[in-house]
Amino acid sequence: MNKTDAKPADVKHAHAVVWIDHLTAKVFPMGLAGVGEVVVHAHPSSTHLHHKANTIGSGQAAEDKSFLPAVAESLRFCRDILIVGPGTEKAALLHYLREHRKDLAPTSLHAEAADHPSDREIIALGRRRFDLE
């Protein structure tokens, strides 16, 4: 089960920038009225797995199947989305949104690599992308 923290609740903006890795998604809905913040946490089956020789399995925790749907729900009012992050989870979210948000044009979804920027840097990336400066 995911925990979602929203500030303010249900901010309705046309744009959003999302920083995501396999455990957390920081969603910043933005527009001329300001910037909101939603944090979605994944809860994998275990965060500490050790690979043991001669055993079956990859030694990786099973992914939280409700994580991407929860992130997508936090983007339900957004029409132009920039996804950034350090690993493959940004591509997984991009694919998920393409499959489940048929209302979005292909040019409405953008993805860029970004290691671990501050919240201020994430918001600046979105403002530049959406010409909100």
Q: Each residue's pLDDT tens digit in the chain (133 positions)?
A: 444 444 443 445 689 999 999 999 999 999 878 899 999 999 876 555 555 555 555 555 557 889 999 999 999 999 999 999 998 999 999 999 999 999 998 899 999 999 899 999 999 999 999 988 7
Establish how many alpha carbons lie within 13 A of residue 6's alpha carbon, considering only the half-sphere containing its beta carbon: 13
Task: Using the Cα atoms of residue 75, residue 79, residue 82 and residue 83 in order, give the sign of their dihedral.
Answer: positive
- pLDDT value of position 92: 96
- List strand residue ranges (DSSP E) for the chain, in order: 3-7, 15-20, 24-31, 34-35, 37-41, 80-85, 109-113
pTM: 0.78
User: In the prediction, which pLDDT does 56 show?
Assistant: 54
Phi (first) and psi of residue 115, to 5 degrees? -65, -95
Domains of the chain by range and CATH?
3-47+58-129 (3.30.420.60)
Residue 93 φ then ψ, to 5°: -65, -40
Give the number of other Cβ atoms within 10 Å of residue 44's Cβ. 14
Question: Could you tell me if 78 and 16 are in contact, meaning their C-beta atoms sit under 8 angstroms apart?
Answer: yes
In sequence order, the β-bridge partners of residue 40 are: 4, 25
CA 76 to chain centre: 12
pLDDT at 119: 97
- Model pLDDT, residue 4: 47
